[in-house]
């Protein structure tokens, strides 16, 4: 490897967010929080990445306070006294190491299946009751349901600020609830929450506005979005720069500070005729800072099309990444699996200590270290 990584370790500032470098720990669901409460194992997991040189940690998805928000066992919540107290310990540990940290606020929507905690009787919730295009199997959200979820996100952001988090990220990607509203395949509504790009974006925009009303104008708010969905890797919300601009404009106007643009391979261009990736196009169209992500520092994506099993991966060159960063294509770089394998990935890359970088193995997911 041994590329010039200077640009990756320059300071970054946006509003009240000041980072020592451009390395972001990507949110990764780990399911190591029994009873949905962060514990000492979680504290140490995040502390080690802060000590290892990460500029900003974005936590695993944390479920907001709505009865259908959770879709998996042992996922931490971002509501209730116990969970918030657990997160306060994480925040304090990260800050003690000089790092910054934000929770990812999450609602899984129609991905939820009956039998999941906290109330196994609660079904999945979705904009049109669809779990796949044309396949109804969950609760179709009413106006009251929509208001309740918006309020839950706003409350989670307010609580996050109160316990010392440095901002919040809203999970609007990968086929979860906000993304289900974005995607015409799962959003067949004909009211103000559906229809065109503006209607399908309205739900997320209202969440951003509600969060802003709770936390103020200067508290950093990131939105993570993706073209691909876990239900279908080939889906695109926008097939042209014009469609993407129409999609992003309401979110920008609502108050998003930074867009976290999730791809499976950061080096892939988003549209024909341009080498810009998703983060590059998002920055160009909105003027907002962006985070790129997708197999950074590794030689394979986490899974290939048509496969459900996660893949092992070896350390890979950062040359393409650094070239794009030096040309200002994006501002921050999120690292996922490489940070599971190497808690001190940032420090090792900065020191050009490539030889000691460990490969990633899916077996590493079996423990929190």
176 is catalytic: yes
* Rounded (10°) angle between helices 197-215 and 241-254: 30
Name residue 58's beta-bridge partners.
102
CA 179 to the chain's CA centroid:
12
C-alpha 21/C-alpha 12 separation (Å) is: 6
Residues 6+ apart with CB under 8 A from 350: 5, 8, 9, 21, 53
How far, in Å, are 19, 162, 275, 285, 329 from residue 323 at the CA level?
21, 39, 12, 21, 9
How far, in Å, are 68, 110, 282, 343 from residue 121 at the CA level?
10, 14, 40, 39
CA geometry: angle 170, 304, 138, nearest 5 deg = 50
Is 78 in contact with 40 (CB distance < 8 Å)? no
Catalytic residue among 125, 176, 233, 360: 176
Q: Which residues are catalytic?
A: 176
């Amino acid at each position: 490897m041994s590329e010039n990584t200077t640009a990756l370790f320059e300071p970054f500032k946006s509003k009240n967010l000041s980072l020592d470098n451009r390395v972001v720990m990507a949110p990764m669901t780990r399911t190591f929080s029994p009873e949905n409460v962060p514990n000492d194992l979680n504290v140490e997991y995040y502390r080690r990445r802060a000590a290892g040189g990460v500029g900003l940690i974005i936590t695993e998805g944390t479920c907001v306070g709505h009865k259908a928000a959770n879709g998996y066992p042992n996922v931490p919540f971002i509501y209730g006294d116990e969970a918030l107290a657990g997160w306060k310990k994480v925040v304090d540990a990260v800050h003690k190491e000089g790092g910054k940290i934000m929770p990812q606020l999450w609602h899984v929507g129609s991905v939820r299946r009956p039998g999941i905690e906290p109330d196994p009787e609660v079904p999945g919730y979705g904009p049109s009751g669809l779990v796949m295009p044309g396949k109804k199997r969950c609760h179709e959200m009413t106006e009251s349901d929509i208001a309740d979820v918006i309020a839950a996100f706003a409350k989670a952001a307010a609580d996050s600020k109160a316990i010392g988090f440095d901002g919040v990220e809203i999970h609007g990607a990968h086929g979860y609830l906000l993304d289900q509203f974005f995607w015409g395949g799962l959003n067949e509504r004909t009211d103000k929450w559906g229809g065109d790009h503006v209607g399908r974006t309205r739900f997320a925009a209202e969440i951003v506005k509600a969060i802003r009303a709770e936390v103020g104008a200067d508290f950093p708010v990131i939105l993570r979005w993706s073209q691909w969905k876990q239900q279908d890797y080939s889906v695109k919300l926008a097939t042209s720069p014009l469609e993407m601009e129409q999609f992003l404009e309401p979110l920008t106007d609502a108050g998003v500070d930074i867009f976290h643009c999730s791809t499976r391979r950061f080096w892939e261009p988003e549209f024909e005729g341009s080498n810009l990736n998703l983060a590059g196009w998002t920055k160009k169209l909105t003027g907002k800072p962006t985070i790129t992500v997708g197999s950074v520092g590794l030689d394979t994506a986490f899974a290939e099309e048509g496969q459900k099993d996660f893949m092992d991966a070896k350390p890979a060159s950062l040359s393409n990444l650094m070239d794009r960063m030096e040309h200002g294509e994006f501002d921050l770089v999120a690292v996922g699996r490489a940070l599971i394998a190497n808690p001190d990935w940032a420090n090792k890359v900065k020191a050009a200590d490539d030889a000691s970088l460990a490969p990633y193995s899916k077996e590493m997911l079996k423990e929190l270290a």
